[in-house]
Amino acid sequence: MKQTKFIDRSISVFTPKALWFCAIFLFFGLRLEAQIQISQLWVENKTNPMGIDVPQPRFTWASVSDGGNVEQTAYEIRVAGTSQDLQKGKNLVWGSGKISSPSSLHVPYGGDKLQASQQYYWQVRVWDNQGHSSKWSAPAYFTTGLFSSNEWKAKWIEPGYQEDTVLRPSPLLRKDFSLDKKILRATALITAHGLYEAFINGRRVGKGFLTPGWTSYNKRLQYQQYDVTDLVKKGSNAIGVMLGNGWYRGTIAWGNNYNIYGKTLGLLFQLEITYSDGSKATVISDDSWTSTTGKVRYAEIYNGETIDARQAKKGWTEPGYNDADWSPVRIGQYGYKNLITTQNELVEKHKTFKPIKVITTPKGEKVLDFGQNLVGWVVARLHGQAGDTVKVFHAEVLDKDGNFYTTNLRKAKAEDQYILSGTGAETFEPHFTWHGFRYIRVEGIDGPLNPEDFTAVTLYSAMPVTGHFSSSDSLINQLQHNIEWGLRGNFLDVPTDCPQRDERLGWTGDAQVFSRTASFIRNVNSFFDKWMKDVAADQQKDGRVDHVVPNVLGANSSGSAGWADVATIIPWNMYLAYGDRQILETQYPSMKAWVDYIKSVSKENLWNTGFHFGDWLFYHPADDNDGRAAVTDKYLIAQCFYAHSTQLLINTAKLLGKANDVAMYTHLLEDIKKAFMREYVTPSGRLVSSTQTAYVLALNFDMLPEGLRSQAAERLVANIRSYDNHITTGFLGTPYICSVLTRFGYSNVAYQLLLQKTYPSWLYPVKMGATTIWERWDGIKPDSTFENPGMNSFNHYAYGAIGDWMYRKMVGLDTYEDGVAYKHSRIQPHIGGDFTDAKASLNTYFGILSNEWKMSGNRLTMTVHIPVNTHSTVFIPTNDPSSVRVNGKPLNDMDSLLVEGKDGEFLKIQLGSGSYTFTSQYQVPKKKI
């Protein structure tokens, strides 16, 4: 007898718990002869990481199987000091034994104490609910960092020469050393005050750029750890390191703001050698090093870099170089207490672009178009005489006349200057700056430009790609492209607001509104984990959270609603996406301090004090004669985010078992919402600010009682209709508007907003040729003139938060809070907008989760893949449940799924892992307008 059941909730005697046990029985009841295999391995959320400084690192793995309804029932992990011992199962530092558990995420190490700066190898095998066991996974590894500041032997060193305090050319530091035995392993630990590039025996150390990255340096300074075994050799060796101003002492923000963390650049370098006979040696930064300057004569993040090839020190990173005229270094007294290992992925080089067009502008300037607004720099191959100077300027757009436009860069010069040595073909590229650009203007080359001599190189944090989305609409696909490139250009060690002008700061509001979208496109777990620790480190003593992190604007630049709420929103979003409760445990004091600060400055539970950015850069028409586009009351917005942060704090307290906090903040939340009702809602249910943002936030954060929500949604739609189906929200309303519309039955309106092509809309910039997300809805106006250049970035990811709706609602890949990290996924696509197909896939910590839907007339086809060790609640859009087929068979013929019955316009089904193709009859309903 088949196990499939159709359940009508109106008459069913099944309780939710009974349904769940039934589903479990069905999932575990299926027996298919298919082997399970381990497909991916992570340690502390990274693949084969170096510099792990936690005593109990956590292991995560994903499994694959060609069977269905496959669940892990047990696992076994083993860890060894060598790959040979691991493969043989001998001399293990930890063997977990067989552990009966479905857990495959963040499983803590439980073996002998790990040693500092050691490489460990590990693998895992699993058993499933169908009687199968996997083979041992392919070996992976991790390398420990330093567990104590006492393990640092290196000394801080600084240049010993008298510095040019105007141009501040980049220091060079070097040391020769000798190794007298065969080398088994060599590990370098490096950090700097400023930025560094390191070389051993003439070869560059690592693939990272702009290292050691940007943190709140005085409290948290990252060091990087590198395997340099292939770079060192028995006999003579040399180390060379070049430093740059970077964020440490360079010009940051505005108002002549420099030397924020210190005035002098410095280096900390520790090379640890293990010889083949087991003995060890250490080479450190100390007073035996020498210093001078070289070819990088000037380097600032905003202004660019000057390289004089005539002053290059040829061979300075190689052994035997004569540095007799170099200056001895000075020893700095800084200590090691603020040093931490690198937690996020380093900035690396990625895709390159060649010019697609050579332009002579109406002004006669020589310009190259790379076809994509990108972040990085240009590698130039140049020829000329000694002393010839070539200048490369950077811009995102051309003006309406076709001329090179840099006014929106404000005070950022964005100019790289190359002085030739006259030795033939010479290649130049920057070291300690970056630019946001699509176009470059070149000066100093006689005759036409040769496009083959210029290559644009992209730079961004090397976060793994996880999500893919596409649809039948080419403009929406370009929008997705723009969202992705907005992330690439602005996730450069910190989540910057823009990559081109004199700003490039870690604005908290921008980051929080985009964080859920980002977690689909890339694995941003480690990226945000690192940055959120800086949010907490820079948080003011009274609990205020800064506008930008790291905070370079001062203590008073803090406490704005929607910006400071980054303290609660991103940790919760990361928990939902990755199932890592450690970020909640770590950030909980910061989350609580922020909510307590709001409480302390509120009056009768109403937060109506302080400075707030409000719904930043909202649409406000020039012909607003009737007041319908009135600015959303900033204190109304603040009250909504007060409630939201309090709710997230309650959620976290429940998860962490903090019962007293749950009770206290639950009562507070009730009072916050009562205060909102008293202050901002009329007796008839109308908000005092009748804007799209006001209704969106009130509905999204459940500020209104159930009885008033439906009419509030109607008022929201009426407002949208009054603008001829255009969006008017700013940074805080935009991320939620389409989700709110879908939640209250107006997916058709959400699609109309998504597909709107005239200003203001998401597709207006696409139609205007954008290749990234703009800061303003109309950065370039319909007449091709520009918005106010004081605030007009063409690479600014905040409005790209629409991606979250596209992935979670349009295609329908979502997760439940009872099974975060997509352990329990929700697949519920909302069809509309005349799309004929849409698809998305996401590489979760369990494996690939995907859905693709196609419409042909009234026939819907849905192809779903659910990873091993997970389950999904799938909602099939259908007007006729009896028409639904799965893998070509009627539902009644399938014993591997549980049909719960109709849920609105959907048929609700519980599924285990596997691949499924559903077909059904579906007519997109005509929604109320």
Q: Supply the angle between the helices 747-755 and 734-743 in degrees, to the nearest 10.
A: 150
* DSSP code per residue over 194-219: SEEEEEETTEE--S-BSBT--S-TTT
In 3-state terms, what secondary structure has residue 164?
coil
Write down the residue that tokens 């950022």 correspond to: 412
Q: State the Cα–Cα distance between residues 476 and 839, nearest whole angstrom.
A: 12
What is the chain's length?
929
Task: Give me the residues paired with residue 394 across strands.
Answer: 440
CA distances from 54 to 165, 278, 600 (A): 41, 25, 36
> What does each C-alpha distance from 642 to 359, 593, 613, 648, 858 come to in angstroms?
52, 13, 15, 10, 45
Distance, CA of 52 to CA of 808 (rounded, Å): 34
Q: Which among 207, 206, 202 is positioned nearest to 239, based on CA atoms? A: 202
| CA separation, residue 752 to residues 118, 238, 519, 717, 837 (Å) | 57, 63, 25, 11, 17
The neighbouring-strand residues paired with 851 are 840, 864
| Helix (H) / strand (E) containing 854 | strand 847-856
Burial of residue 452 (CB within 10 Å: 0-12, 13-18, 19+) is exposed
CA distances from 783 to 240, 276, 400, 747 (A): 53, 71, 8, 32
Q: Is 873 exposed, middle or buried (0-12, 13-18, 19+ CB in 10 A)?
A: buried
Give residue 486's identity as a one-letter amino acid code. Answer: G
Q: Residue 724: count other Cβ atoms within 10 Å of its Cβ.
A: 9
Which residue numbers are catalytic?
503, 775
The Cβ-side half-sphere exposure at 505, using a 13 Å CA radius, reads: 20
Strands 171-179, 906-911: pairing is: unpaired
**What one-character-per-residue DSSP string does 620-661 give?**
--TT--SSTTPPPPHHHHHHHHHHHHHHHHHHHHHHTT-HHH
Note whether 804 and 520 are within 8 A (CB).
Answer: yes
Report the candidate in 757, 767, 770, 873 with the shortest Cα–Cα distance to residue 812. Answer: 873
DSSP annotation of 40: E
Nearest 5°: phi and psi at 805?
-70, -40
> CB-based burial of residue 140 (10 Å sphere; 0-12 exposed, 13-18 middle, 19+ buried)?
buried
Query: What residues pair up with 172 in beta bridges, in sequence order?
Result: 242, 292
End-to-end CA distance of the chain, in Å? 47
Closest alpha carbon to 33 in 136, 130, 133: 130
List phi, psi (to 5°) of 519: -70, -15
